[in-house]
Structure formats: structure tokens, C-alpha cells
Structure 1
Amino acid sequence: MSVQIQSLKKKISWSHPSVLPQGHWLTPWLVFIAISITNILAVMSLWAVDLGGSSIAGALLLGTTELSWVSLSYIVVSSTCVPISDWFSNRYGYKRIFFIGVLLFVIGTVCSGFATGFWSMVLARSVAGLGSAGIFPNSITLLVKVFDEKLKTLVVSLYVAMAFGVGTILGLQFSGYLLENVSWQSIFFIVIWFVPLILGFIFCFFSETEKKDLGKFDGWGVILYLAFIASLVTWIADVKAPWNTEGFSSLFSKGTLFIMITSFVGFLIRENRCKSPLIDLSLFRLPAFLNGALALFLVAICFFSTVSGFNDIFQSVLNYSKSQAGYYLMPIGIGVGLFGGLSSYLSTKFGARIVYISGMLFVIISCILNQRITIQSDHIQMGWILFLRGSGIGLALGPLTSLMLRDVSSAQLGQAAFMATLFRQMGGSLGSLGLSLIKELRKPFHLARYGEQMGQNSQNLANIGSKLDNYFVSRSGAIPAGGDFVSTSSGVNEASELSYRWLSTYGTAQAEISATNDAFLIFGLALSLITLCIVLLISKDLLYKRLFKKR
């Protein structure tokens, strides 16, 4: 009996389990399945809250500002804790931190379903975000270590397709169904069904990585880093909040901006002097790493802000149901999943440079095409733009990571790999915030522009108003107008009042869409500049190689 117990202990050993024979071909793929399911659930949790925001707000009596912090708490905590997670993973093992991350994510997600107010929901989402900080950055490292060299590029591409493609599709479609037909709590409880499978696979098939002594923990660097991220997020989120009536000139905004700049400068000084820095700033001296990081950051901004922005258009402007909004948002997930999986094959056939530049161009073109969207656009027109953007994001995510790692030394490879995750996650955090800020700045302009077009002396308004008068009289039985089109009296001019009210609602909705279009145009222009820098970098490399060969 003791022999059997010893044999069982050896098979489920934490460091090197041997449930399957060592080197068995199936082990890496079982690791891939567990990591893929975990990442899909983590991405689903993000989109589920974004899609079901109105249901959660109604149940917990949350205002607009409170709801935004509920949505932000998960992704902001996740992205902020990535560098800290990397340090602990190196110190205590990637398998251990991944396992703890899964437990924290599940606990936080399930507790979100039991939340009864704002603070309990934010706390639960923050715990889930802390867990995802142990999931996202460690996933690629664990996959790279378990697969052969010739399969690594393929596996990373499949991982991107599964996590961000399938995760987005299921997070939007399945969550929309649960929100309408079950309850908002059900979108959090779904993770319970997969916990035994994931934890069992981690115990039985994951091998622990070698632990490294990274020196003393950079406590001051962490404090300055957290202060910078917290002040940055707070400033972007609240500089145009309804309660902050003075906006950019308020004492709150100036104070937050001062803390942000001071902590950022302090962090740079600290990391340059520290022997064991939290973030190795010397990596940014490599042009390929810097350009790749900025491009990955902007692509992530476009990805996360697109789902958030179009969800607002579908639900708030066009009054689609949650399941309809989830269904019409699926093209971006399909594009990411399909072309994310194909990016490895296309990189092998045509070269990684062509693939990620093509992907970035697709994203830029889709951002420009966003200007064609109006309140009269149907979901098919929007669907093509979403699919084009998703295709570009899928083509760019994996190869841009390769660009970041291209010139990095083997000693800095681990740091550079987690930095890729950090820039992707930070892009996700700031994408929705940046979109909201630009919309707040641009919407008053478009409201004023449409308001001018609806002036009482406008002949176009009078013509449209007459047609609407006839529509409301014939279809809804409104009392015909008697006199001027615009009137505030009741009874006699009921049709005119209905027409003017409908046009005002129409103008407000179009202003919302136009402000969203402006945000994506800005994102597209920023990505264009980075794409140009990368093209110049590639041209420089090719020219140098040709001159070197001639010599």
C-alpha cells in the first residue's frame, strides 16, 4: 500500500508530475488546453461586465461614474500588477503563480456574482483582476517552455486566437444570452464549471519552472509605479466627470496631474539607479523593441475601445438588446480568432514584417472607415468594419510581439516577454478610458453643430418637420400642427412637438456616434505614425544589410 502511495505522490509531484510518461507528445497540448480555457474565461469576464453594465447598474443602484469604475477595476488591476507578477513568478515559479492566479480569479469572479453594492463589486472585480495578472503574463512563458522550438510560433498564434478571438466571441454572445434569459449574476458563476478541470490539469501536467534569485524586491519602484498608474487612470477617468465641473482647471485635476508627473519621473530615476529594477528601462533603447511596444499598445487600445464603443452605440444609441449587441459585435472576435491563428502560417510564408504591417494597415483603414458610420447605418455596415479591425488586430498581435523580442538578448528575454503583456494590458486599460475622454470633449462640439442645423429659421428643418408632422398625424394619430413648426404649446401643435422631440433625440444620438468616430480617427492617426516609424526602421535595416553585403 505504501508503495502505491509513493508512486501516486511521484505521479502528482508539484515540480515534475509524471501522470504521463516524460516527454509524451500529449502533455504540451494538455497544458495548452488548460491555459486556453483559463484565458478564454478571463477574457469572457472582461466583456461580460462591459456588455451587462446597465443590468449591473440597475441591480446595484450604480451611477455612471461608479459603473465605469466597476468595468475598469478588473483590467486596470490586471495590467498594473503584471510587473509584480513577473517578479514573483521568477522568484517562486511560474506554475505556482499561475495556480494562485487561477484561484484568485475564480474567487473574485464568483464573489462578483454575490456583490450587493458598489464597493463589494469593485473589491471582487479587483481580486479577479489580481488573479488575471498571474494568468496572462505567465501563459506564454509556460507554453514556450513546454513546446519544442519549431512549434513555439504556431502555439503562440493559436493562443492569441483562442484567448482573444474565442474569448471575445463567447464573452459577447454567451454573456448576452445569459443576461437576457437568466440573470446578471450568471455571467460570473459560469467559471465554477471549469475550475476542477483547470486545477486538475495544472497539478497533473504542468512542470514547475526554475526559480531565479532576482535580488532585493524593488519596493520603492513598485510604490512609484502604482502611484503613476493610479493617478493616470484617475485623471483620465474623472477629468471630465459630471461632478468635476471645472474639468481640466479644477484643483483635483491639477493635483492628480502633478502626482502623475512626479511619480513617473521618480519611477524613471529609481529604475535607472536600482540594481534589481522592476522594469528594465534599457530595453527601450532598442528601436525595434520601442516601436513594437508602442504599436502593440495602440493596437490593444483599438481592440478594447472598439468593443466598448460599439457596444455603447448598439445598446445606448440604437436600442439593441444585450443579446443583439453581443451578436453584432461578434465580427471583431471572429476576425481576431481567424487571423490570429493564421498569423503564424502567414509569417512563415510571407515574413513577419509584411504580416504585422498589413495588420496595422487594416486597423488604420477600419478607423478611417468609422467616419462613415451614422445613426442610419445598419449592423451589416458596422459588421464589416468590425471584421476588418479584428482581422488587423489578429494579424498584428503575435508578430508585433516577435518584433519586440527581435533584438533582445537572451538574458533580457524574460523581461521583454512580460513587457509585451504589460503594453497589451495597459492598452486595454487606457483604451476605454481614452475613448470616453475624447467623446466627452468632442460631443459638445457635434451637439452645437447639429443644433445650428436645427435652428427655427432653417428651411431644411421646416421641410423635414412637415414630413414628420404628416408621419405622426397619419401613423400615431397626433393632432396636426397649426402654425409654425416649432411650438411649445400643447394640444394644437402636438405633431410639431413630437417631430421636434424626435429630431432632437436623433441629433443627440448622431453626436454620440460622431464623437466616437473622432476617437477612432485619433487612434488611427497615432497608429499611422508608429507604422511609419516601423517602416523606416525596416528600410534602414534592409539598406544596412545591402551596404554591408557590398563591402
Structure 2
Amino acid sequence: MTITTTGAIEAETAGRAGWRAWAALAVLMLPVLLVSVDNTILNFALPAIARDLEPSSAEQLWIIDAYSLVLAGLLVTMGSLGDRFGRRRILLIGAVGFTIVSVLAVFAPTAGWLIAARAAMGLFGACLMPSTMSLLRGIFPDRDQRRIAIAIWAGMFSAGAALGPIVGGFLIEHLPWQSVFLLAVPVLALLLILAPFFVRESRDPRPGPVDAASIALSMLALAPIAYGIKEVAIHGFAGAMPILIGAAFAWLFVRRQLRMTAPMLDMSLFRRPAFTGSLLVNLCSVIALVGFLYFASQHLQLVVGLTPMAAGFALVPGMVLSILGGLAVTPIARRHPAGTVVPACLAFALAGYLLVGIAGAHDLWLLVVAFALLGMGIGAAETVSGELILANAPAAKAGAASAVSETAYELGAVLGTSILGGILTAGYRSSLVIPDGVPGALASHARETLAGAMNAADSLGGEVGAALRDAAAAAFGGGVAVTAYIGAALVVLSGLIAAITLGGRRGAAER
């Protein structure tokens, strides 16, 4: 692998990294944590934004979705540009842009302004995420050290999902809603100061020409697919047209890459079982993890009655064990094949889901223990599979490979909410029995969502309100049980994929 440092080209040795590399890892965790927190934090600010800016219902959805759709559509493009122009350079451009747009969002006078700012955040967020993982390839040439680094990377990404409710709840309780955007400023300012000192530049030494057509096709493929998944979750298969459009552009993108001598994304990577298998393992695992967070966060707040901050703290043990599981599996992965290690790790995640499916979600500590098992298992499995993705890609194409991995994470997050969330909602609606005495309008709200039922119960009060609250909690609990078994099936599928595709590999030979 060749590394560009302050304009000079140097050959990287395969020696073990020193303290500067670990300092670089700490610096790279700043944008990882920020972007993962940003995925969830805005949900807590939305009620205050709605009171201030008075957006329509469609505008409210776009305030949330604009960020993730642009991010998903540009990940592969930005990963490829990082390979060409320098991964650290793209990272720093993303940090500067994200900081500026975050400040502009603070002064948003209208919902349209805020939607545009969120879309721009998605653009610069796409610069941040692939760069962080691809830079690890050059910073840690030693595979054992790189496994530890990836365990920390994956753990921080997961930790951000738990920190989002805690940080968001704290900020909204004590400060105006604009504070959720100002959070990015100190984090990325620190990155801009420290990255030039600790993070070395790296790029593809022989990049092909910039292919505007491939860039456009990748965006036209990924963004409609992500949007279509959300539409299907809300409207059923009537909203599937964007997925079909995205799939058509994806076919054109693949066709173009196969015909090019220097493609933006080397499609031959997908012919490597360890690369494709690891991507699928990550995709299924993220679906399972996000799906659990979807119903656990609602149950903890709406049924158990915890505040958003308290609910976030209840999930912290699972996030901590996610990091520890990734660190603990590193020496094991060095001695044993991935096709055995990954399914063994996922057995813990399976136990977490089965615990909820069999015992239900009525007890707070049961949910805490179940998520701890899930986090530990998925954290360990994704450490092994994430390292295999980098190990099975040529070093010069680490940015594009990391971007594909990030796309799997993003689509997994969307699918986790859409598939498992949709199953949960369907189960809740079909089993909810509205008590006598509930007016028609409130009954309609109660049938829509658990939050609607709890709000209706609060407005009714008395015995009727208590009966509606109990009926909604019971219906939601039944939906959680079904969803838990579906999640368990996804974990089993992920384990089977790992056993078949990863086989006896401890990691393919690197190049």
C-alpha cells in the first residue's frame, strides 16, 4: 500500500502501529460518534421545531429523512472520491462543510431552510463516514491491531445510537432546539485541529478518471431505494415504485462498472465470498439491532414510563458490551476461522431476542439484559466481518469498499425500522381491543400508534383511560413478541450466511 504524507509517497511497512496510530483512531472516532448520534437526536427536537417553524406533516418527515436519503445516495461516490483525491482531504472537507451547515441550521427561519440544511448535512456526512473506516487500513497495517481498531469504530457507531436519546433529551430539556445542531461545532472543530497532526493522508496511487456518469447512477440507485423502503413501511407495496426505479439505475450502474477498465467500484469484489458474505452479515445484523432499538425505546418510554434520557441510560450496558465484545473477539478471530467465530458471536444476539420473545418485554431489567446480549453478540460479529471487508479489498480501493460497507449499515438502519417496525405496528393494530367508552376520534388515534394510545389515555383519564393504557400495552407487548421472533430469524440467517461464505477463513490474503 502507498501512503501520501505531506506530499511525499512512502511505502507502508506491515509493522505494528505505535501511539500516533492510536491517537489517530481517537481523532477519527469524533466524526463517527457525531454522525451516529445525529441519526437519532433530531427526533427529540422535532416537537419543539414543529412549534417554532410550523412545518406541514410532509415537511416534518423531510426534516428527518432528507439527511439519511442524501447520505445513503452519496456514500459510494464520496468513498471513491476519497480513494482518488485523498481520504483525509475528503474527511476534512466533510468536517468543514458539516460545521458550516450546522451553524446555518441554527438560524433556519422556515422549515424549507431546515430541510435544505439537513440535505447538505447528508452530503458532508457522506464525506465523513467512508473516510474514517478506509483510513484505518493505512493507519493499522497489522491485522490484529486493525481488528481492535474496527471493534472500537463499530462500538462507537453503536454507542452513538444510545447517546442520541441521552444527549437529545438533555439538550431539549435545558436548551432551545437549535442546540442539537450546535453540538457538531466543537466536535468537528477538534477534528479539524487534530487530524492534520495525527492522521496521515492516503489515496489510490493509480486512480482512474473521474466518471460523472457512474457518480450520477450510484446516487440515482441508492437514494430512491432508501426512500422507497420508507414509503413501503408507511403505505405498503403501493409505495414500492421508488425501489423499482432505484433497482433499474443500480442495474445500469453495475453494467457500466463491468464495462470500464477503471471502474468507480470494482464489481469483482462481490465475487469474493468473504467480502459479499461479510456485507450481508453486517446488513442483517444492523436490521436486527435497529429493530430492537425501535421497539425497546418505545416500550421503555411509553409503557415503563421512563424519560428519554433514562431510556437511553437503560440501553447503555448493551452499547458498552458491544464495544467490549468487539475487543474480546479480536484474539479469538486470530486463532479460529471466521465461519465459526461469527455464528458463535451471533448466538448471544439470538439469545437476547429469544429472551424477549419467550418472556415478553414487560420487565425493565429483562429488556436491559436482552439488549446487553444482543449488543455483545452483534458487536463482536461485526468486528470480524467489518475487518474482512477491508482485508478482502485492495488497499488502493479501501475507500470504495468502506463506502459499500457504510451503505449496508445505512440500508440496514432503514430496513430495521421499516421491516421490524412495520411488523410491530401491524401486530399492534390487529390485536388492540379498544375498551368501551373511548370516543371514536380518540380510538382512531389509539389504533395508529402506541404513542397515540397513551396520549388518548392521558386525555381520558379515570378508569377508561387506565383500561385503554392497559389494552395498548398488552397489544404492543404481543407485537413485540412477534417482532422478537422475526429478529431472531434474521440473526439465524446472518449466522448461516457467515458459516457458508466465510468458511474456514481467518481473512483472505490482503493486497
- Please, what TM-score do these two structures have when normalized by structure 1? 0.75
1:228-268 Cα distance to aligned partner (Å, 9 max, x none)? 33332333323454xx6xx534xxx3643542343333333
1:310 aligns with 2:303: no
Aligned to 1:532: 496
Residue 428 (structure 1) aligns with: 413
Distance 1:60 1:296, change over 3 A: same
Match of 2:133 in 1: 140
Q: Does 1:506 pair with 2:498? A: no
Q: Which segments of 5 or more consecutive residues in structure 2 lack a partner in the other structure?
A: 10-15, 438-459, 507-511
Question: How many Å apart are 1:389 and its aligned residue?
Answer: 1.1
Tell me the equivalent position of 1:160. 154
Amino acid across the alignment from 2:407: L
Contact kept? 1:232, 1:257, Cα under 8 Å = yes
Percent identical:
22
Q: 2:259 aligns with which of 262, 273, 295?
A: 273
SS at match of 2:20: helix
Larger RCO (alpha carbons 8 Å, 6+ apart): 2
* Counterpart AA for 1:446: S
Does the Cα contact within 8 Å between 2:354 and 2:485 map onto a contact in 1? yes
| Equivalent residue number for residue 260 of structure 1 | 246
* Distance in structure 2 (CA, Å) of the matches to 1:309 and 1:60: 29
Partner of 2:237: 248
**1:179 aligned to 155, 172, 176, which one?**
172
Structure-2 residue corresponding to 1:215: 208
Task: Output aligned runs, 1:190-209, within 5 Å.
Answer: 190-209=183-202
Structure 1 residue 66: Cα displacement? 4.4
The correspondence for 1:518, drawn from 461, 473, 482, is 482
Distance 1:501 1:328, change over 3 A: same
Q: How big is the shift at 1:392?
A: 1.3
Residue matched to 1:7? none
Whole-Å separation in 2 of the counterparts to 1:511 and 1:519:
12
Aligned AA for 1:328? Answer: A
SS at match of 2:209: coil
Q: Structure 2 CA distance, aligned partners of 1:90 and 1:408?
A: 12
CA shift, 1:414, in A, is: 5.4
SS in 2 for 1:193: helix
Query: Deviation of residue 400 (structure 1)?
Result: 0.9
1:121-148 residue CA offsets vs partner (Å, 9 max, x unmatched): 2222222222221222111222331335
The residue identity in structure 1 corresponding to 2:69 is V
2:422 paired residue number: 437
Q: Which residue of 2 aligns with 1:416?
A: 401
The corresponding residue for 2:509 is: none
Kept in 1, the 8 Å contact 2:288–2:491? The answer is: no
Name 1:469's counterpart in structure 2: none
Q: What is the alpha-carbon distance in structure 2 between the residues aligned to residue 175 and residue 298 of structure 1?
A: 27
TM-fit CA distance, 1:294: 0.7
User: In terms of mean alpha carbon deviation, does 389-398 or 268-277 score higher?
Assistant: 268-277
Report SS of the residue matched to 2:183: helix
Amino acid at match of 1:157: A
Matched with 1:369 is 355
CA separation of 1:506/1:541 partners in 2, compared to 1, >3 Å: closer, same or farther?
A: same
Counterpart in the other structure of 1:382: 367
Q: Hey, what's the Cα distance between the residues in 2 that align with 1:227 and 1:528?
A: 32
Q: In the alignment, is the contact (CA less than 8 A) between 1:91 and 1:211 conserved in 2? A: yes
Q: CA deviation at 1:391?
A: 0.8
Q: Please tell me whether residue 392 in structure 1 is matched to residue 385 in structure 2.
A: no
Letter in 1 for 2:318: I
How far off its partner does 1:97 sit? 0.3
**Aligned residues of 1:154 and 1:345 also touching (Cα < 8 A):** no
Q: Is the 1:224–1:266 Cα contact (8 Å) retained in structure 2?
A: yes
1:537/1:31 CA distance change after superposition, 3 Å: closer
Report the RMSD for the aligned CA atoms in angstroms: 3.4
Q: Is the 8 A contact 1:160 1:337 kept in 2?
A: yes
Provide closer, same or farther for how the CA distance between residues 271 and 191 of structure 1 changes in structure 2, counting only shifts above 3 A. Answer: same
Query: For the structure 1 residues 146 and 350, does the alpha-carbon distance in structure 2 shift closer, same or farther, using more than 3 Å as the test?
Result: same
CA contact (8 A) 1:16 1:207 kept: no
1:101 shift after superposition: 1.1
Aligned to 1:72, the other structure's residue is in SS state: helix
- What does the per-residue CA deviation read over 1:21-42, in whole Å, with 9 as the maximum and x for residues that have no partner? xx99443233222112232222
For 1:434, the aligned partner's letter is I
Q: Is the 8 A contact 2:74 2:218 kept in 1?
A: no
1:510 counterpart letter in structure 2: A
The answer on whether the counterparts of 2:69 and 2:227 sit within 8 Å (CA) in structure 1 is no
Q: Which stretch of structure 1 is more off in the superposition, 288-297 or 421-430?
A: 421-430
Deviation, 1:374, is 5.2
- Give how far 1:498 is off: 4.4
CA distance in 2 between partners of 1:518 and 1:116 (Å): 44
Change (3 A) 1:409 1:142: closer
Deviation, 1:48, is 1.7
Task: Give 1:338's aligned residue.
Answer: 324
Cα distance in structure 2, aligned partners of 1:159 and 1:359 = 18
Unaligned runs of 5+ in 1: 1-12, 18-22, 457-495, 543-551
Following the alignment from structure 2 to structure 1, what is the Cα–Cα distance between the partners of residues 422 and 220? 21
The verdict on how the C-alpha distance between 1:177 and 1:58 changes in structure 2, with shifts beyond 3 A counting, is same
Amino acid at match of 1:178: L
Q: In the alignment, what sits opposite 1:106?
A: 99
Q: Cα distance, 1:360 vs. partner?
A: 1.9
Q: TM-score, normalised by structure 2?
A: 0.81
Task: Tell me, in whole angstroms, the C-alpha distance in 2 between the residues paired with 1:162 and 1:303.
Answer: 14
Give the superposition deviation at 1:385.
1.2
Residue 406 to residue 43, structure 1, CA distance change in 2 (3 Å): closer
Report how many residues are paired.
Answer: 473
- What amino acid does structure 2 have at the position aligned with 1:300? V
Q: Is the 8 A contact 1:336 1:390 kept in 2?
A: yes
What's the offset of the Cα at 1:102?
Answer: 1.1
Distance 2:45 2:295 in 1: 14
Q: CA deviation at 1:297?
A: 0.7
Which of 1 and 2 has greater Rg? 1
Q: Which amino acid aligns with 2:246?
A: M
Distance 1:255 1:154 in 2: 42
**Which of the residues 213, 219, 229 maps onto 1:226?**
219
